[in-house]
A and B are shown apart, each in its own frame.
Chain A
Amino acid sequence: MSSIELSVNGKSVRTTVDPRESIGAFVRDELNLTATHLACEHGVCGACTILIDGAPVRGCITFAATVDGQKVQTLEDFEDEPLMNLIRSCFSEAHGLQCGFCTPGMLLIARDMILRGAAGTSDEIRHGLSGNICRCTGYAGIVKAIQLAAERARAAGLAAQPA
């Protein structure tokens, strides 16, 4: 077992983990934060996307022990964030989700793209989204939602201008 101390959604967590436990499994199983889904567990689909020190990573192939001392954020950390709430409303408006299983990962990657100013054209959004698989929507609603959210976020001063 490995001792770790990290911040998860702003709370400090000090515990021991099996070194083979991924950070995705750790937040789900030890902290009951089940927004993060594990869908392929080999780094392809993006359902497990979480933020480490603010940057999205694959939760399924990043071991919890390796993020000791770092700042972990899951979708649950963004319950009241204006930008994420804006993205949420755009996903609903543009029908950017169906079964909902991939949605938490999509939201986190969308937010990252918007904050980096990498959500300008539809081509750019599609490129940025290419590491997150959705099997239901065919992506049209997701791309539209992110485009809408990026425009509105820029207008509201919540996001960077396109790079």
Chain B
Amino acid sequence: MRTQEAGVDSTPGARRSDKGVGAALQRKEDKRHLFGRGQFTCDLRFPNLHDVAFLRSPIAHGRIVRIDVPEAVRKQVILAADLKGAQAIRAVTDAPGFKAADYPLLAFDKVLFVGQPIALCIGRTRAEAEDIAQQIEVEFEELPAVVDMLAALEPSSPLLHDSWGDNLYLAREFEAGDIEQAREAATVVIEREYRLNRQAGVPMEGRAALAFWDERLDELVFYNSTQMPHQVRYALSLHLDLEERQIHVIAPDVGGGFGIKNIVYPEEIAVAAVARHLRYPLRWIEDRREHLLSSIHCRDTLYNVKAYADVNGRVLGLDVEVRVDAGAYATWPNGPNMELGMAIKNVPGPYRISAYRARGWTVATNKSPIGPYRGVARPGACFCIERTIDEIARAVGREPHKVRMENMVTPDLMPYRSVTSMLYDNGDYPQSVEKAVDLLDLPAVRERQARGEPDGRLIGIGFASYTEQTAHGCGEWITRGVPIIPGYESATARLLSDGSLHLLVGIQSHGQGLETTLAQVAHQELGIDFDRISVRHGDSSLCPFGMGTFASRSMVMSGGAVAKACRILKGRIQAVAAQMLQCAPNEVEVRNDRAFGPNGDVSLREVGQVAYVRQEGLPRDGSPTLDVNATYSPAIDTGVFCYSTHGVVVAVDPDTGYVEILDYAVVEDCGTIVNPLIVDGQIVGGVAQGIGNALYEEIPYDEHGQPLATTLADYLLPGSTEVPEIKIAHMCTPAEHTEYGMKGMGEGGAISPPAAIANAVRDALAGLGAELCETPITPRRVLQAIHIAENRNGVSGGES
């Protein structure tokens, strides 16, 4: 393991530069957005553009008996039967016992959730398309809705997918070590049920698709607000009876994704399927209600844990049951099962746990399908283990952070094979806890707590740690049984005739600032002026193949590819410059937009001129082009682990149940940082979403399967008054297996907040004997917990 606090300079191949790796540069992306000149899909203008509105199911479960479309609008309405050459979405996974839950582009026989698309309506404006949708009448034979995932598994439950015989997508088991022995040896047993309720992702720009047939190129042009344009091209070819050469996917500016746009949706394929036969461009711009109804949802997971510990709080074993309410259908590409697999894998967290048993079930219900939202399963897994660690600490009468540290994997054990076979590469987990304790000044908080608040509120402090697998390769994805196995990312580095540089990459940037950070990497390698580098992404025809931006992978994977391509390009530059400078290529040094030989130097512009338009000056051997494509995957495919401890101080109002965050600290280690501004921005943004998860965001369903949060007046997103200032401290343990020592860090911020905040609330309410085991921690839930504790303790609803 490399030493703590190691900087970029200690990493081979890296050198200090004010524009390279490690520089807090302002972003290249900013200007267009600050002038309102971003080009999101909804901002694109084409002549004769038509708008789509979907008629959606108003009921959760039923058979479609009849669809009446008025004759006057029949031509503007597309029903399932009108979709020629288009397939229902099928996500086939390798999971044993896999059951298909094909997701029709438009429902034709049954509807399985409120919001499921039934008809695609075309208007000259969106308003007109909605008018048409409103004129269609659908007669349903309503079936009882399956809403509760526990009831869904009862033999008497109605079925979503008739051929299955039950409502179970998948059951999974995992066991390592001797859980019975742990149970027998335990002096402390903690048993809890934790629930993370259903949420949505809600990027500011919803889903969007704009499609037309380009007659000249004989191809479908598909603008799509997506995180993965190349995978979309593949998906369209699978579902549309088109060859990939005939599909051009462009992700223009994308207004946030967070995993929601890592799915190819029925609405999107339906728009493409219809537009390819039209003579005008067709677009669908999702509205907010559609988003809350029918974009993927997330979390909705129930954990039942039994933890066994010794008298000091050392965890001897964990026995966990996980149930995931995955909604009605399998989404493309990864289907419904990833959440469960990752939950089981991640519950043990950053701890040394030798006995672990997990059983899990992924359940089908009449709700929108779930999918991968920032953190994927780990906010729940973290909640499960971190709440439990705190309960163990309480049971043995110790400060939770001490119990936490003592159970953690220590640096001397790295690399460490976790009980679920993940390979934690390096880092000092306990130190992250210690630093978070310092940042919040735990003794001062304890003192304040003991003193009491003049307004009667109760102070609490809580911590939660995680270690997050990032930038993993094929091996890891194969274990998930998913149909798409990402391994590499690719990049093209192209020096142009004037010495400026194009980087073409297969990932997609939608807020992460990769147009900036990838240019920093190229500057690091080639010394080319940062302002003379353009990054191009999000275009399946322009850019080399890449999987896209998800799983906290793009900076490591695409950054690695850019570094590699630039190094090869540098060799080509050296070869051309050597010819010009009459020296050996290895004598040429490339920096500051110039190539230096022993007896002189030339500008990269001059090198570019030779390579493109004065080719008589090229060396006779070797490739003459300054155009390099390279692929990259880290030296190991088990991922590099970014870890972090979050700490939070809250004030809980026992009269109202309101929780205010008084202080919040993040200590994290993502290895080498490419751009500190962007890393901190990702952390704070993640924490804000985690606060939403912890305190605000929820889509409840009533007993008929009607979602009760379909506007932003009901689905509460954290605003500027709900997110506090966040203190951030960095540790830096460079990864040993990636370029520069980078680790992924895009999702991490969102993992710990629910657990840390719940622990803090628990701490605040400890005196009342109340605890919170469910997110979001609403005022109602807080008061209910207090109410239950009071009844248990025989206290009447007294004054506080």
A contact set with B: CB distance below 8 Å: 18, 20-21, 28-29, 32-42, 44-45, 47, 74-76, 79, 88, 91-93, 95, 97-104, 107, 122, 125-127, 129-143
Contacts and interface: CB of A to CB of B under 8 A. Distances in A.
A102 B685 CA distance: 14
Most buried by B among A44, A75, A127, A141: A44
Most buried by B among A107, A126, A132: A126
A47 B725 contact: no
Closest 6 CB pairs of A and B: A35-B36, A100-B33, A101-B255, A138-B688, A98-B511, A99-B511
Most buried by A among B202, B684, B685, B689: B685
A136 B678 CA distance: 11
B721 A100 contact: no
A127 B680 contact: no
B32 A100 contact: yes
A39 B285 CA distance: 10
A138 B288 contact: no
Contacts of B717: 45, 133, 135
Interface in B26-56: 26-27, 29-38, 40, 42-43, 45
19 contacts: A28-B42, A32-B45, A42-B711, A45-B717, A88-B35, A92-B27, A99-B205, A100-B33, A101-B38, A101-B203, A101-B255, A103-B38, A126-B721, A127-B721, A132-B719, A133-B719, A135-B258, A138-B681, A140-B726
B288 A99 contact: no
A10 to B, nearest CB: 16
Contact of A130 (B35, B720, B725): B720
A100 B204 CA distance: 9
Nearest to B713: A44
Contacts of B726: 138, 140
Nearest to B30: A92
A39 B204 contact: yes
A138 B685 contact: yes
Interface of A is mostly: loop
A133 B36 CA distance: 17
Given A42-B711, A130-B720, A47 B204 contact: yes
Most buried by A among B125, B204, B206, B684: B204
Contacts of B512: 98
A34 B35 CA distance: 10
Contacts of B689: 135, 138
A74 B712 contact: no
B405 interface: no
Interface range for B: 35 or more
Contacts of B258: 135
Contacts of B723: 138-140
Contacts of A127: 720-721
B287 interface: yes
A37 B40 contact: yes
A133 B677 CA distance: 21
A93 B681 CA distance: 12
A66 B589 CA distance: 66
A130 B718 CA distance: 9
Most buried by B among A41, A142, A143: A41
A136 B509 CA distance: 13
Contact of A35 (B37, B678, B725): B37
A135 B687 CA distance: 11
Given A37-B205, A133-B204, A135-B717, 8 more contacts: A18-B125, A37-B40, A44-B711, A45-B717, A76-B35, A95-B677, A103-B33, A125-B720
B45 A76 contact: no
A126 B720 contact: yes
Most buried by A among B34, B40, B205, B678: B34
B26 A92 contact: yes
A42 B681 contact: no
